[in-house]
Homo-oligomer: A and B are copies of this chain.
Amino acid sequence: MMRTNLVRSRLAAGESVVNAWLSIGSSYSAEGVGHSGVHSVTVDLQHGMFGFSEALHMMQAISATPAVPMVRVPSLDPAQIMHLLDAGAYGVICPMISTPEEAAALVSACRYPPHGSRSFGPSRGLLYGGADYVAHSNETVMAIPMIETAQAVERIDEILDVEGIDLLYLGPNDMAFAIEGHVRFPRPASEIAMARVLERAQAKGVPVGIFCADAKEAALRLEQGYALVTPGNDFAHLTRSISGAVRDLLDRDETAEKAPATAGHGY
């Protein structure tokens, strides 16, 4: 039987999911993160600093851990989505989905006929999922639109009605850009928009995930009802931890001018 998608089964069981996020193009760090206790690891091809080859190696490395390999794609490009599914992704997070048509196009790209338009060529999917991958991938692989535009918020009910949406994923920074016009805190209007999305999704039984700056925000989001949280990306964890160590070792005055560029809220 095809390998179970742990993210899907946990969400179905009402259990929360902790998801890691990779922007460093290394299969070694990917494997380490996969062993960190997270339920899933998302390989970010939109803002991550790598291309397909590294993503393949990272997904292979994640496949040697208990975590589920997922991807964020750069855009709603069906050929690229299919390529990453062929490479073994068990979930596709797609940015900037604003309309039900776009949501349906995402679902279609993730499903073989007759439920979608995915091209046959399962490649590594067969290796990760198993010999019956083609028969069962439609109910295993997850289609996950990112909700991060004003239009998406307005049309959230229509988007939620698209058959095959397995999870919504909120991008708070792009949402802030869209709703506030900037990414500075506080962001009252975009918080309200996100709360509305969460409420509507819950009403329709669709779980919602969200990118968080860190574990503290992630804990808050879980309390708010989000089902999946990403407590910051790998680069932020790495550089914050090292910067913190340096600060502990040096006088603050000395390091002030070299303050890490990455001390922000992540993305």
Contacts and interface: CB of A to CB of B under 8 A. Distances in A.
A47 B183 CA distance: 36
Most buried by B among A86, A232, A237, A264: A237
Nearest to A52: B51
A246 to B, nearest CB: 4
Given A28-B23, A63-B64, A177-B120, A215 B244 contact: yes
A239 B51 contact: no
A37 B121 CA distance: 22
Looking at chain A, what size class is its interface with the partner chain?
35 or more
Contacts of A46: 79, 82-83, 119, 121
Interface of A: 16, 18, 20, 23-29, 31-33, 35-38, 46-54, 56-57, 60-61, 63-66, 74-75, 77-80, 82-83, 86-87, 95-96, 112-114, 119-124, 126-128, 130-131, 133-134, 171, 173-174, 176-178, 181-183, 214-216, 218-219, 222, 229, 231-232, 234-235, 237-250, 255, 258-264, 267
